[in-house]
């Protein structure tokens, strides 16, 4: 990691140059404004010091036009800044299609990441270069916040609710990963490193099971281990529970006549509190898995359910996108 003294952070994601350009513009504007104001104050303070011979005739007490100019001017400037900042933010909050999905669980005081093939790591995150990466995050206890300064991205990690963050790394190297939301005694120890690797190196790293952490669930599908398939047949035949093929990201009709989009939060809720939303045509038979599956296992189950959906090529574009 580059630990030399510097005044600006490294740029290691596609967001970084955009954010820095906006930052530079803001620096320019606020630098000119503050120097301008300070300059005028100092100039007046000297020129019109008590007992100076400056001309003080015709002192205005107010000037409507001048007042309006410093209302309208800052208004226009701030609207430019608002639109610029909002456009970038919008992109930061909407992951591109086909991003590599990595799940993340935060807890006091460590970060746990799991890659699509099941390889897990703690306080380190390996990602491929030049490939969009989306992180699905949840906390096991208090609020944390995943922050990678070199990528200019940050998102709070909440208990009981998924949040996501995405980026595309643009420079090979090792970068800081911090918890930015105060989370208790060892908050400043809840740190790690992001390793940006060439895509081929990333693939090697993923398949290097010898040195890697053992996979969750010992390699088999958690879906089968927990016997989800007893009720949720994966073949499409009629059974006690709704089929989970093609369900992720789709609209699901409910017993009460409402509809719900089967996003990550809905899938998680259906595992922990199955009775909360019953799918139309089914009964509340499923037992709760609360306390029986960890947050990591729920994330694993969700990614397995998503994998079942991705088998179906007819899936309409854009439905996976969720806010």
Partner 1 sequence: MNGAVITTRKRNYLNASYTVRSWLLTHDHKRIGLLYLIGVTFFFVIGGLAAAVVRLELMTPRGDLTESETYNKLFTMHGITMTFFFLIPAIPAVLGNFLVPLMLGARDLAFPRLNLLSWYLYMLGGLMTMWAILAGGVDTGWTFYTPYSSTYSNTYVMATAVGVFVAGFSSILTGLNFIVTTHQMRCPGLTWFRLPLFIWSMYAASLIMVLATPVLAAALLLVGLERGLGIGIFDPAMGGDPLLFQHLFWFYAHPAVYIMVLPAFGVISELVACFSRRRPFGYAFIGYSSFAIAILGFLVWGHHMFVSGQSVYAGLIFSLLSFLVAIPSGIKVFNWTATLYKASISWETPMLYAFGFMGLFTMGGLTGLFLACLAIDVHVHDTYFVVAHFHYIMVGGTVMAFLGGIHFWWPKMTGRMYPESWARLSAILIFVGFNLTFFPQFILGYLGMPRRYHIYPEEFQVLNVMSSAGASILGVGYFFPLTYLVWSMFYGAVAPENPFGHTGLEWQTASPPPTDNFEQIPVVTQEAYSFGPDDALRGPSEEVISIVQAS
Site for partner 1 in 80-139 (CB under 8 A): 81-82, 84-90, 92-94, 108
Give the residue with the Cβ less far from partner 1, 1 or 307.
1
Q: How far is the CB of 314 from partner 1 (least distance, A)?
A: 29
11 lines the binding site for partner 1 (CB under 8 A): no
Closest by Cα among 297, 292, 293, 106 to 220: 297
Q: Name the token pair of 46.
A: 């000297």
Which of 74, 98, 199, 253 is in the footprint of partner 1 by CB under 8 A?
Answer: 74
DSSP state of 271: H
17 lines the binding site for partner 1 (CB under 8 A): no
276 lines the binding site for partner 1 (CB under 8 A): no
Closest by Cα among 124, 146, 147, 111 to 193: 124
Give the residue with the Cβ less far from partner 1, 86 or 96.
86
φ and ψ at residue 208, rounded to 5 degrees: -80, 75
What count of Cα atoms within 13 Å lies in the side-chain half-sphere of residue 147? 13
**Binding residues for partner 1 restricted to 129-188, rule: CB under 8 A:** 141-143, 145, 147, 149-150, 152-156, 158-161, 163, 176, 178-188
DSSP state of 276: G
Q: How far is the CB of 242 from partner 1 (least distance, A)?
A: 25
Which of 17, 28, 30, 285 is in the footprint of partner 1 by CB under 8 A?
Answer: 30
Closest by Cα among 167, 122, 131 to 149: 167
Tell me how far apart the alpha carbons of residues 103 and 119 are, in angstroms, rounded to a whole number.
Answer: 11
Q: For partner 1, how many residues bind (rule: CB under 8 A)? A: 88
Q: Name the token pair of 228.
A: 């989800």
Q: How far is the CB of 158 from partner 1 (least distance, A)?
A: 5
Angle, CA of 290, 294 and 295, to the nearest 5°: 100
Give the residue with the Cβ less far from partner 1, 41 or 285.
41
Q: How far is the CB of 46 from partner 1 (least distance, A)?
A: 9
Residue 225 near residue 217, CB atoms below 8 Å? yes
Query: x/- string (CB under 8 A) for partner 1, residues 182-221?
Result: xxxxxxxx--------------------------------
Tell me how far apart the alpha carbons of residues 63 and 129 are, in angstroms, rounded to a whole number.
Answer: 58
Give the residue with the Cβ less far from partner 1, 15 or 113.
15
Cβ–Cβ contacts within 10 Å for residue 145, how many?
21
Q: How far is the CB of 83 from partner 1 (least distance, A)?
A: 9
318 lines the binding site for partner 1 (CB under 8 A): no
Q: How far is the CB of 282 from partner 1 (least distance, A)?
A: 24
Q: Name the token pair of 6.
A: 């510097």
């Amino acid at each position: 990691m580059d630990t030399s003294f510097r005044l600006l952070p490294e740029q290691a994601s596609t967001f970084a140059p955009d954010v820095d350009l906006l930052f530079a513009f803001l620096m320019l504007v606020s630098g000119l404004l503050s120097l301008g104001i300070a300059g005028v104050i100092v100039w007046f303070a000297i020129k019109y010091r008590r007992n100076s011979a400056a001309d003080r005739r015709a002192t205005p007490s107010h000037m409507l036009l001048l007042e309006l100019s410093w209302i309208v001017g800052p208004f226009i400037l701030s609207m430019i800044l608002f639109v610029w900042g909002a456009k970038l933010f919008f992109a930061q909050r909407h992951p591109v299609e086909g991003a590599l999905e990595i799940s993340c669980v935060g807890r006091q005081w460590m970060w746990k990441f799991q890659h699509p093939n099941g390889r897990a790591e703690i306080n380190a995150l390996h990602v491929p270069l030049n490939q969009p990466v989306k992180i699905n995050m949840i906390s096991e206890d208090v609020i944390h916040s995943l922050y990678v300064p070199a990528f200019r991205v940050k998102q709070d990690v909440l208990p009981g609710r998924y949040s996501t963050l995405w980026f595309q790394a643009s420079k090979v190297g090792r970068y800081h990963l911090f918890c930015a939301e105060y989370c208790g005694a060892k908050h400043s120890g809840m740190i790690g490193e992001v390793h940006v690797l060439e895509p081929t190196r990333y693939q090697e790293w993923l398949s290097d099971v010898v040195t890697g952490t053992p996979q969750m669930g010992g390699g088999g599908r958690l879906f089968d281990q927990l016997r989800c398939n007893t009720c949720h047949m994966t073949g499409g035949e009629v059974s006690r529970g709704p089929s989970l093929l093609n369900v992720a990201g789709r609209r699901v009709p409910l017993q009460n006549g409402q509809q719900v989009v089967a996003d990550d939060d809905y899938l998680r809720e259906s595992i922990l509190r199955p009775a909360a939303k019953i799918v139309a045509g089914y009964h509340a038979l499923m037992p709760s898995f609360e306390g029986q599956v960890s947050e990591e296992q729920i994330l694993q189950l969700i990614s397995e359910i998503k994998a079942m959906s991705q088998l179906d090529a007819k899936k309409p574009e854009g439905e996976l996108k969720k806010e």
